[in-house]
Structure 1
Amino acid sequence: MSAAFEEAGGPAARRRFATLGRSVALFRAFLVEQTDPDHFYGLLAEDSVRQVAGYTPLAGRTVLDVGGGPGYFAAAFRAAGAHYVGLDPDVGDFSAAGDSVAGMLRGSGTALPVRSGAVDVAFSSNVLEHVSEPARMLDEMVRVTRPGGVLFVSFTPWFSPWGGHETAPWHYLGGDRARRRYQRRNGRPPKNRFRETLFPTSIADTLRWARGNADVEVLDALPRYHPWWGRWVIRLPGIREVAAWNFLLVLRRVGTRPAGAAEKTELTGGSRC
């Protein structure tokens, strides 16, 4: 790992952050996600920004949030001094947290409307499992990140306890069956519909993609919400798909920035730091 990443926080600082108390607070907040989304997503956004800051400085950096949705992450990243740009298929979702849609983009995660090498941080929280071609979205995130920049991607593996989202834990008996059961019991289809808006994404496939991509190096792979001493589960194929609950992959874009490249991004018009 480079000196720049050590200065950003380093393993010791990240270990101090990933405490059992922090994990308990996140899981408690998760229990009220439906009834008190402001509490859950506000806490998650602050936690995520703190996690990202453990790998790279954020002040003055351009952050692209792929699948930003409501503006909770916008407020947290901007409070950290970042130039935040959110992208979502439905820009109307950005207003759910009372945030302005200014500076937001409408587009697909698998065809990002952003020039190559334009951002310092490509961030995505719990979106990859909702994309039919996750490798294509990851490729796009790599493309738009400058050499030396960071990619921070998390998702819920299909075989985790929450893999079926609101249809869990019945997804263990099959996604179609879980969907039909939900509709019978609630009189409406689930928001996260198997193989329409929710896809069986795995840790194994994502790690295989990362290790086979010459444009990135893996900085970290860990269970996102676990305390630091629980990260060992990622080393256990099969078990990690269930025990990780939510998987986090942190990557660094490798390569050399082209000589004479513009110092301003097309996203913000601001200078790079």
Structure 2
Amino acid sequence: MTTSSPKITHLDFLQKVRSKELSQVLTYFPSAENNGTRRAVLEIGAGTGQQAKTIKDLGYDVTAIDIPSSHYYNDRIFDVIDYDGRAIPVATGSIDVVFSSTVLEHVREIDDLLQETIRIMAKDAIAVHVLPTSAWRLWGIVGHYLWLIRRMLAYTFSKVKRRGERVFSNASPRKPTSLREWLGTFFPLRHGERGVTVTEAYYYSRYWWKRKFSEHGLRIIKIEGNHIFYSSANALGVNLNIKIRTWLSYLFGSACNIYVLKRDPEI
């Protein structure tokens, strides 16, 4: 008797992507200890806390924060501190590494948050932020309609009856129940807090973020793609492995850029 492989969920897929991404991010972190003292890391928008846990296991002193309304509130595996999205609950100049992964695009008061990160960073601290690329946004529009075709086919096949039972009944999508859900079905909605669906490609560009970071005294050390391809609609599904997605990134672009920053020494 053979057993089927366990089904991969979206959260499983996301954790695989973030794990691969974090291995790249960690190459920019300073050593975990400095003169016998563990370096302090702050993760903004920690979600489940999976990445914070990994970083702590490597010997860093980690503080993880997120807003109480996080989609991953019930899936936390780390002690994530709830905060108001504005005032970061740590002491001034106490953090050696500020880290976030696909978070800053969701922050409406981005200027206030960046000023807060400057406040909490030690003079020799770095910030590492992972942010969606313009390519991710544009491919997400294409991917949305591929997802819509799959959704419509699933709904159609769910109506087919064979031997008195529905075929693909488990794949039958739920009907939208609000105007926003109907709009989100037929038109890809804005992902972040700035612009509209199409203009988000500009707000996710290196040009926009370099200018925004510079406005707040954060100097660019390096910008690098995460070398993983995926779209907002996840049209390719969750079963495509990271190795193939890495290869696809060289054809279609990385889903995220990794920004490595330092405080302006004059601040």
What residue is the counterpart of 1:223 in the other structure? 225
Query: How do residues 81-100 of structure 1 correspond to structure 2 at under 5 angstroms?
Result: 81-90=59-68, 93=72, 96-97=75-76, 99-100=77-78
How far has the Cα of 1:51 moved from its partner? 2.2
Aligned to 1:161: 136
Q: Is the 8 A contact 1:49 1:76 kept in 2?
A: no
Counterpart contact for 2:29–2:97, Cα < 8 Å:
no
As a proportion of its length, which structure holds more strand?
Answer: 2
Q: 1:50 to 1:205 in 2, by over 3 A?
A: closer
| Cα gap change, 1:211 to 1:196, in 2 (>3 Å) | closer
1:71 touches 1:95 (CA, 8 Å); kept in 2?
A: no
Please list every run of 5 or more consecutive structure 1 residues that lacks an aligned counterpart in the other structure. Answer: 1-32, 172-182, 228-241, 258-273
Within the candidate set 46, 57, 60, 2:31 is matched to 57
Bigger-Rg structure (1/2):
2
**Could you list the per-position Cα deviations for residues 50-70 of structure 1 after superposition, in whole angstroms to 9, with x for gaps in the alignment?**
523434223411111000010
The 3-state SS of whatever aligns with 1:114 is coil
Match of 1:209 among 207, 212, 226: 212
Rounded Cα–Cα distance in structure 1 between residues aligned with 2:87 and 2:219? 22
| Residues 153 and 73 of structure 1: CA distance in aligned 2, closer, same or farther (over 3 Å) | same
Are the aligned partners of 2:131 and 2:204 in contact in 1 as well (CA < 8 Å)?
no
Indicate whether 1:48 and 2:1 are aligned: no
**What pairs up with 1:80-159 in 2 under 5 angstroms?**
80-90=58-68, 93=72, 96-97=75-76, 99-101=77-79, 104-157=80-133, 159=134
1:91–1:106 Cα contact (<8 Å) kept: no
**Corresponding residue for residue 153 of structure 2:** none
- What code does the residue aligned with 2:105 have? E
Specify the code of the residue in structure 2 equivalent to 1:218. I
Contact 2:25 2:258 in 1 (8 A): no
- Structure 2 Cα separation of the partners of residues 65 and 164 of structure 1: 28
- Structure with bigger RCO (C-alpha 8 Å, 6+ apart): 2
CA contact under 8 A between 1:154 and 1:248: conserved in structure 2?
Answer: yes
**TM-score, structure 1 length as denominator?**
0.57
Following superposition, the deviation at residue 87 of structure 1 comes to 0.5
CA distance in 1 between counterparts of 2:15 and 2:75 reads 11
Shift of 1:186: 4.5
- % identity of equivalent residues: 19
The CA RMSD over aligned residues, in Å, is: 3.7
- The residue type paired with residue 218 of structure 2 is V
Shift of 1:255: 3.4
**8 Å Cα contact 2:83-2:89 kept in structure 1:** yes
Change beyond 3 A, Cα 1:220–1:197: closer
Q: Which runs of 5+ in 2 are unaligned?
A: 1-6, 146-172, 195-199, 230-251
The normalised TM-score by structure 2 is 0.58
Q: State the Cα distance separating 1:196 from its structure 2 match.
A: 8.4
